[in-house]
Amino acid sequence: MRAHDSRLSARGWKGTLTRISRRSGLLALLSAAAAVIGLGAIFAISLRAELADLEARGQAVLAQAAGRVLGQISPYQQLPRLLSRDPRLTGLFDGSAEPGEVVDFLTITALTVGADAIYVLDGSGRVLAASETGRGAPAIGEALGRRPYVPPALTGALGRALEVEPATGRRQIIFAHGVFAGSPPPTGVVVVRVNADALEFAWEVEPAVLTFTDQRGLVFLSNRTELALLLDAAAAPGTPPPPETRGAFPARRPLHWLHPRWVALPDGGVLPPRALELSRPMPQIDLVAHVFLDTREAEATAGLVTLVAAGGMLTLSALLWALGQRRRRLADRLAAEAAANARLEARVAERTRQLEAAQEQLVQAGRLSALGQMSAGISHELNQPLAAIRAYAENAVKLLDRGRIAETRGNLGEIAGQAERITRIIRNLRAFARNEPEPPVPVDIGAAVAEALRLAAPRAREEGVELVPDLPGGRLIGLAGEVRLQQVVLNIVNNAIDAAAGGEAPRVEVTVEDLGERVAIRVRDNGPGISEPERVFEPFYTTKEIGASKGLGLGLSISYGIIGSFGGTLSCRNLARGAEFEIILRKAMP
């Protein structure tokens, strides 16, 4: 019975091992397939990123090449316009110039600027005079009226054309302009002809292949002379080949699976076997610039990334296999590790509690720091109302001694108003310290600014500073807090008084302006300006003596936060003399 059970057990183990072997083989096959797919995806993603980077660099190369060509031809483009009113050329039409002198002048000019030829046509397009540079200038009397650059020039516009001499294959860029012997229209045409070879010589060393095709698809310019005068059928599909064509441009095969401008080209030529082809129109001279960027380096980089990833996968697979072999040996250590993990979790939980407590302490410290800043600024914020209460109280005593009861009652009313104002200021400061500001409400901006100026007026008189308000005649309603806005304006005006005091004709201008959907408050002084305007709203930044009653360096920082709580902005800038602070508030819409 035991032998039978043993045989059954052996057969069971064999079946189990067979199933495990089959599952392992299937798992290995699936893992290999996943690795191949993953490596293919890595290669595709890397190559797409490399091609995108290559495209960005190619666009810069293309823009630079187009700008270089336009810069090279610009002097020749302007030359016909400059020559069109030269008395030596206009003299050909009124008989005041000798043809020989004109020929000498055209020859010297052509040699100086490096043009192939410069010649003058009459109104019918016949050649009247031409330079003698030995570079194929037209003969005297030759009829050129049907050339495409002549009709626009005879209308006063700039004529231009791209031509190829059939006999020599010389490529020429031609510019023409009308000659004005008197009042318009032009009586003739002056033509400047430039050899394209001179333009190409300056940028043959460019590693990227550049071509410039005309409207027919003919390669008119290139930094590879082998490509000149080849017909690029892709640039102008369906265009019949012109007679000056030297052959067909190499055909491209699109490789669109990773980049829309990636193409394959025939091997063995000056073009790379695979390239990014980018284009840029140049309507100034009726050309289209093309650049062919070799993508083999990008492919090699993507292949290297894939190879590194494959090495990483192999290393990971080896590690996983080794870990699998060690799994049996580690079985007896699971209990110990579980206990160690439990202890580790307990330590982590303890550290987490410690971190939470530390974080709470930091938050509390931040709150205390903010409350400390606000407490330090209370004396600065309450200085003016308290000074006003003292002045009103002293006046009330004097008026009461003189029996002027009505005026005394008025002063006591002012004292009550200022006390209420102090209460509201403290309430707002407490709300600000708790980060619970009252929401902005519609406020008469002109009235709030006027109240702030009224409180600042005694100090301005004491310092000898002229306050110049420019307030709106009607009500201008903006979104703010009345007391807090008065605090901000009063703080800025007091700073402006400090800046202007002691100078020549000290003056502080305060304006309120309707900007449509916004309201602007501007405070401008004629003091020395601000040495570091970009730091003026930083806490504790001040240009005054530290420890002075108005030198805490918190007023503008607090003001900046108050205006921000209104949904507005506070900024400053230096003027030619003095500085200007500007408050922008939202306008309350009806």
At 1, the pLDDT band (50, 70, 90 cuts) reads: low
Asked if residue 466 and residue 574 are part of one domain, the reply reads yes
In a domain, 101, yes or no: yes
Structural domain total, the chain: 3
In a domain, 338, yes or no: no
Asked if residue 398 and residue 531 are part of one domain, the reply reads no
Q: What angle do CA 270, 271, 276 make, to 5 degrees?
A: 160
pLDDT at 506 over 50: yes
At 151, the pLDDT band (50, 70, 90 cuts) reads: very high
- Which of 199, 223, 256 is the C-terminal boundary of a domain? 199
Selection from 157-171, 360-374, 494-508 with the highest mean pLDDT: 494-508
At 21, the pLDDT band (50, 70, 90 cuts) reads: low
Higher pLDDT, 171 or 25: 171
How large is the average pLDDT for residues 440-451?
92
In a domain, 352, yes or no: no
* Cβ–Cβ < 8 Å for 276, 295: yes
pLDDT at 233 over 50: yes
| Nearest alpha carbon to residue 379 among 180, 188, 554, 530 | 554
Asked if residue 540 and residue 460 are part of one domain, the reply reads yes
At 429, the pLDDT band (50, 70, 90 cuts) reads: low
In a domain, 265, yes or no: no
- Which of 385, 420, 436 is the C-terminal boundary of a domain? 436
Residue 185, preceding bond cis, omega within 30 degrees? Answer: yes
Selection from 199-208, 238-247, 290-299, 366-375 with the highest mean pLDDT: 290-299
In a domain, 15, yes or no: no
Task: Note the pLDDT of residue 4.
Answer: 53
* CATH code for position 449: 3.30.565.10
How large is the average pLDDT for residues 490-519?
92
Task: Note the pLDDT of residue 34.
Answer: 76
In whole angstroms, give the CA distance from residue 431 to residue 337.
55
Task: Note the pLDDT of residue 544.
Answer: 63
Task: Note the pLDDT of residue 377.
Answer: 42
Range in 88-102, 311-325, 559-573 with the lowest mean pLDDT:
311-325
pLDDT at 214 over 70: yes
Q: What is the mean pLDDT of the chain?
A: 81
Q: What angle do CA 409, 410, 416 make, to 5 degrees?
A: 90
Classify each residue of 541-568 as buried b or exposed e, where b means 16 or more C-beta atoms within 10 Å of its C-beta.
Answer: ebeeeeeeebebbbbbbbbbebbebbeb
Asked if residue 457 and residue 422 are part of one domain, the reply reads no
Asked if residue 178 and residue 88 are part of one domain, the reply reads yes
Range in 15-29, 212-226, 410-424 with the lowest mean pLDDT:
15-29
How large is the average pLDDT for residues 270-292?
89
At 127, the pLDDT band (50, 70, 90 cuts) reads: very high
In a domain, 257, yes or no: no
Asked if residue 560 and residue 514 are part of one domain, the reply reads yes
pLDDT at 476 over 70: yes
| Percentage of residues in the chain having pLDDT higher than 90 | 26
Range in 388-392, 497-501, 583-587 with the lowest mean pLDDT:
388-392
Task: Note the pLDDT of residue 202.
Answer: 63
Task: Note the pLDDT of residue 550.
Answer: 47
* Cβ–Cβ < 8 Å for 256, 264: no
In whole angstroms, give the CA distance from residue 277 to residue 540.
58
What domain range is 576 assigned to?
A: 440-586
| Nearest alpha carbon to residue 429 among 385, 393, 387 | 385
pLDDT at 504 over 70: yes
Helical (H) or strand (E) element with 492: helix 482-500
Asked if residue 450 and residue 512 are part of one domain, the reply reads yes
Asked if residue 542 and residue 458 are part of one domain, the reply reads yes
- Which of 411, 436, 461 is the C-terminal boundary of a domain? 436
| Nearest alpha carbon to residue 481 among 441, 453, 452, 518 | 441
Asked if residue 423 and residue 372 are part of one domain, the reply reads yes
Asked if residue 579 and residue 466 are part of one domain, the reply reads yes
In a domain, 67, yes or no: no
pLDDT at 120 over 50: yes
Higher pLDDT, 350 or 544: 350
Asked if residue 160 and residue 103 are part of one domain, the reply reads yes
Higher pLDDT, 3 or 577: 577
pTM given for the model:
0.49
* CATH code for position 170: 3.30.450.20
Asked if residue 567 and residue 489 are part of one domain, the reply reads yes
pLDDT at 431 over 50: no
In a domain, 419, yes or no: yes
